[in-house]
Each structure stands twice: as C-alpha cells, then as structure tokens.
C-alpha cells in the first residue's frame, strides 16, 4: 500500500480523492472500530465515529484551520476517540465526570479547543443524519429538496418539475418531508436499539 504524507492526506480528503480516502479507510477504520467495540460500542457506532471525525477534519482542512503538529493519524485518532467518549458521556451522565477532564483535555490541553470540537462534532452528527437520509430518498424527492434548498419558489419548482399545479407541488413537498422524517426516525430508533 502506498504511503501518503499528512499534507497529501489532508489535501486528498478536501479534494475527495478516492485513492487517498480508501487509504485512510483501509489503514485506520479497523483500529478505530476495534477501539469503539472494546469500549462498549457497536460496529454502527464505530462507523458513525469514523464518518463524523473525518468530516470534522475535512471541514477544518477546508477552511484552513488545521495546522498539524503531529502526524495525521495521531490527530485523527484523537478526534475519533474524543467523538466516542463524547457519545458515552452524552448517553450516560454518570460517566460524564469520569471522562470530562481526564480525556477531553488529552487532545491539545486547552479547554477552548475542546468546546470548539464539541460544536464541530455535533454539527457533523446532524449533517450526517440529514445527508445519509437524504440519499435514501427517491430521486424525485431529492430533486424537489435540492430545488427548495436553492431557494426556488413553489411556482418555479412546479414549472421545473413539470407538475400540474402549485398545489400538487405543496403535496409532493409534504410527502417527501414525511418520507425524510420517517427515515430519520428509523435511523435514530435503530441507533438507540444498539
């Protein structure tokens, strides 16, 4: 397997370079999964941890906020580990105190960074929930939501999608939203069962 430098990995993540992302996945996912499984999580938890952490790194690298003093993997492991401990802490308040100072400050040693990372991870969890479930929707609903997201009016969407009336578009919008909410709910129910 080819080896990539930290800079190349970060650039590859930002550019969605499949070879680099495959490298990161092949090299690091198994150990992250092993860590999560050892600490009471499931495979699904591990996959969520991996995704959210990678997206945080992507976001930081994209905006130029990330200047690594260590290797990519040292940093990435820290974020993954923190993400999992945060989930444990959030799901069980009694474990909060145990993890709070011992592990959170392990990252870079100062609280502001941890607060910022908390926010970034929460944001990525939400984005994952939206994007994953959006991708499970029918193509028609995806198209409709994309047009709504672009800010088109109901009249414009009706024309764009060749619907018979604006009333019909409203109905479609409601149905698509119902589909989305159902999937989000199922997703959360399944996560809670694990």
Partner 1 sequence: MKPDSKHMISNNFPESDFFGAIQDEHKMALRETLLDLHYKESQNNNKYVISIMSWKVQSIAASIAIFLLVGASFLFNMNDSMTNEEIFGQYYTTENSILTVRSNTAAEYSPVNDGLKYFDQQNYEKALYAFELAPENVVAKLYAGFSYMELQQYDQAIEKFKNIIDQKDNLFIDQAEWNLGLCYIITNNTDQAKEILAQITNSNTIYNIRAQQLLEDMGNN
Question: Looking at beta carbons only, is 55 or 117 nearer to partner 1?
Answer: 55
Nearer residue to partner 1 within complex by CB, 101 or 130: 130
**Nearer Cβ to partner 1 (155/182):** 182
Whose CA is closest to 104, among 86, 125, 124?
86
Shortest Cβ distance from residue 143 to partner 1 (Å)? 9
User: Smallest distance from the beta carbon of 109 to partner 1, in angstroms?
Assistant: 24
- Shortest separation between residue 181's beta carbon and partner 1, angstroms: 5
Residues that bind partner 1 (CB under 8 A): 13-14, 16, 18, 21-22, 25, 29, 47, 51, 54-55, 58-59, 62, 87, 90-91, 122, 125-132, 134-142, 145-146, 148-150, 161-163, 172, 175-182, 184-185, 188
With the C-alpha atoms ordered 61, 65, 70, 75, is the resulting torsion angle positive or negative?
Answer: negative
Which has the closest alpha carbon to 65: 77, 73, 76, 57?
57
By C-alpha distance, which of 55, 48, 54 is closest to 84? 48
Nearer residue to partner 1 within complex by CB, 150 or 155: 150
Q: Are 103 and 39 in contact (CB under 8 A)?
A: no
CB of 54 to partner 1, least distance (A): 7
Give 124-129's long-range contacts (Cβ < 8 A, gap of 24+): 124/51, 124/52, 124/55, 124/56, 124/59, 125/48, 125/52, 127/55, 128/48, 128/51, 128/52, 128/55, 129/184, 129/187, 129/188
| Cα(132)–Cα(70) distance, integer angstroms | 31
If the CB atoms of residues 8 and 128 are measured against partner 1, the closer one turns out to be 128
User: Whose Cβ is closer to partner 1: residue 80's or residue 109's?
Assistant: 80
Q: What CA–CA distance (Å, rounded) separates 145 from 20? A: 31
């Amino acid at each position: 397997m080819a080896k990539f430098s930290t800079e190349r990995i970060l650039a590859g993540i930002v550019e969605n370079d499949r070879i680099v992302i495959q490298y990161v996945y092949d090299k690091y996912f198994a150990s992250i999964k092993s860590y999560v499984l050892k600490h009471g999580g499931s495979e699904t938890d591990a996959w969520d941890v991996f995704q959210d952490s990678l997206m945080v790194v992507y976001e930081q690298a994209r905006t130029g906020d990330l200047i690594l003093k260590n290797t990519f993997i040292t940093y990435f492991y820290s974020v993954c580990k923190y993400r999992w401990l945060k989930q444990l802490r959030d799901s069980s308040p009694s474990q909060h105190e145990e993890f709070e100072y011992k592990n959170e400050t392990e990252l870079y040693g100062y609280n502001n960074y941890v607060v910022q990372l908390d926010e970034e991870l929460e944001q990525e969890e939400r984005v994952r929930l939206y994007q994953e479930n959006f991708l499970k929707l029918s193509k028609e609903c995806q198209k409709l939501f994309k047009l709504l997201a672009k800010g088109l009016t109901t009249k414009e969407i009706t024309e764009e999608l060749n619907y018979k009336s604006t009333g019909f578009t409203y109905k479609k919008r409601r149905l698509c939203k119902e589909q989305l909410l159902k999937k989000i709910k199922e997703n959360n129910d399944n996560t809670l069962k694990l």
